[in-house]
Chains A and B, each alone.
Chain A
Amino acid sequence: MGEQQYEIDLGNLMAFDPHHHFPSLPSSRTQQRFLIAYLKLLVKQLFLEATYCMGKVYSNHSLKIFREELVKECLQKGTKLVQAVADALFNLPSSEDRDGPIVTLPPPTTRLPREKPLPKKTPPTKWELFAKKKGIVQRKKDKLVYDEQTGTWKRRHGYDRVNDDKDVPIIEAKLTDEPGEDPFAKRRAEKKQRVEKQEKHRLQNLKQAAKVGALPSHIQLAATALPITGTQAAPRKASKNELANVAGMAATSTASGGKFDKKLAGEKPPKHEGKYRKYLPVVEGSGMGSLEKQQTEKVLSKLISKNSHEMLNVEKAVNMYNVKKDKKRRNQQGKSSSSTFGKLKPQKKPYKKTSSKVSPYKGKSK
């Protein structure tokens, strides 16, 4: 193989061989589909991920062999390309770091195709349809608005806003007003209603979008009950029994244990009433089961390890030493009381080093 120049894109860690041609499929059969074979070599962190997708379907023997050879060839070419990428990487100027040399990769030069499909357009909402029909154009609003009353520029939304409902000092009574009504409270209630209505519409719009499968992505991620666009996974629906059990549990999780709540028709009592403790089975298999064995093992090992420090016989060493010292002192006292003055002095024995069976690091388990 001659030295071929590969196109190396270090920004994507990619290498491309423009001169390589894959052999075409042996065209022998009549009902052969159009073969699409393209090799996508994306070298990520110097691991080879060779994926190729072929659009053919027929399992012919010759096709099988062809495919195997294709795979082999792909791997061979791939190794060469990976080598080229590695060479290029190590040729970059590197800076030394604690963990090794660090290189900064140059910006990528090739534009890679999209990984995921384009997001779908949301269906137009009811307001959008209405606006289009009527020809209403959305205009951009300013953040600051001139307030006539105070003569200053106030913001449109937020703290100290322009037409705040709270700032109205006097509301003049109309002929249609009833005497007992509080107009301020009425205004607040109306505002609340408007907000609720808006929220309802917003949710309806989202539902419409979800039906088509075009939810905005941040809501898609938040709604874990819904499948991510593109996957085929169906949402797991809780069965009727499951829901009934959960409802029963929820009903008893009030302050008084659900005793004084009105029970709806068909509501099941909770499955485990009172303090629910799950015990190991009495007899598993024949006698002790594996669960119980595990439990006892765990407890035993914990206990033994906790007290393993007591196995060190430092105490014993100290005690033995003390006993020896006491004995020696007693002997010496005895000797001194009956010591003979004068010529015959008892030979003071040099300090005898007894073979100490004691070492502080010998762990003895009795």
Chain B
Amino acid sequence: MRPLDESETTQVFEKLFKFTGNNLKNIVDNPSHEGPEPDPGRYCFRMQKNRVYYVSESLVKRATNVKRDNLVSLGTQIGKFTKGGKFHLTIQCLNLLAANAKHKVWLKPTSEMSFLYGNHVLKGGLGRITENIVPQDGVVVFSMADVPLGFGIAAKSTQDCRKMDPNGIVVLHQADIGEYLRTEDDL
């Protein structure tokens, strides 16, 4: 386990910024409620074996007692660094993103299953969409009951969405909660 260095931190923050915008501050400076200490610290990012975890300080302190080879995971995993040095967000950070998302998309019940199987979101399945979406923006996908289903990248702006034909792709799929079942071993 080690903290991230500057270039790695920039990469992680950039990816998160796509989804959260200025709420990134809330993520980074979040006062934590975990831990028995009277003064809970904040959350910090730690890297173990190319995976980035979002952990509270008290947990980090305790995790130093575990041997590096034996430490599997701590806190919430938010993403992985690939062999090429690029950072990808994984599904486990969905809760974090959903709480601080800037752009949201709600799916109709009929197309929920399609998204959970890993397909992209088509315009026909779109229930609601927030304003001001720019292409290449990060978008969190919800069901109509406000249950976060996953996240992806916007393919079109909100304006263009209105004018599109029903089979056009609105949101490119990146991660969904169906992955917990499909790719359970990779997580």
Contacts and interface: CB of A to CB of B under 8 A. Distances in A.
Contacts of A277: 5
A292 B3 CA distance: 8
A303 interface: yes
B89 to A, nearest CB: 16
Interface string B56-79: 111011001000000000000000
A365 B26 CA distance: 13
Interface in A278-319: 279-283, 286-288, 292, 295-296, 298-300, 302-304, 307, 311, 313, 315-316, 319
Interface stretch (B17-25, B116-124, B143-151, B172-180): B17-25
Given A292-B44, A304-B24, A319 B13 contact: no
A288 B44 contact: yes
Contacts of A280: 2-3, 5
A79 interface: no
Contacts of A296: 9, 28, 44-45
A21 interface: no
B158 interface: yes
A322 B22 contact: no
Interface in A139-169: none
B129 interface: no
B102 interface: yes
A94 B11 CA distance: 61
A366 interface: yes
B165 interface: no
B132 interface: yes
A304 B14 CA distance: 10
Given A279-B2, A287-B60, A288-B42, A319 B158 contact: yes
Contacts of B13: 299-300, 303
B159 A319 contact: yes
Size bracket, chain A contacts: 20 to 34
B10 A303 contact: yes
B93 interface: no
Nearest to A292: B3
B1 interface: yes
B64 A283 contact: yes
Nearest to B35: A287
A303 B14 contact: yes
A282 B3 contact: yes
A277 B5 CA distance: 10
Contacts of A283: 60-61, 64
Q: Could you say which of A287, A292, A295 has the most chain B C-beta atoms within 10 Å of its C-beta?
A: A287
A303 B24 contact: yes
B6 interface: yes
Interface in B19-57: 21-22, 24-25, 28, 37, 41-42, 44-46, 56-57
A282 B10 contact: no
A287 B42 CA distance: 8
Given A303-B13, A365-B21, A365-B22, A286 B57 contact: yes
18 contacts: A280-B5, A282-B1, A282-B2, A282-B46, A282-B64, A286-B57, A286-B61, A287-B60, A288-B41, A288-B44, A295-B9, A296-B9, A299-B9, A300-B13, A303-B17, A304-B24, A315-B132, A315-B134
Interface of B: 1-3, 5-6, 9-10, 13-14, 17, 21-22, 24-25, 28, 37, 41-42, 44-46, 56-58, 60-61, 64, 102, 131-132, 134, 158-159
Interface of A: 277, 279-283, 286-288, 292, 295-296, 298-300, 302-304, 307, 311, 313, 315-316, 319, 322-323, 365-366
Pairs of residues from A and B, 3 with the lowest C-beta to C-beta distance, nearest first: A287-B57, A287-B41, A365-B22
Given A279-B3, A286-B41, A298-B6, 13 more contacts: A279-B5, A282-B3, A287-B42, A287-B44, A288-B41, A292-B3, A299-B10, A303-B17, A304-B25, A315-B134, A319-B132, A365-B21, A366-B21
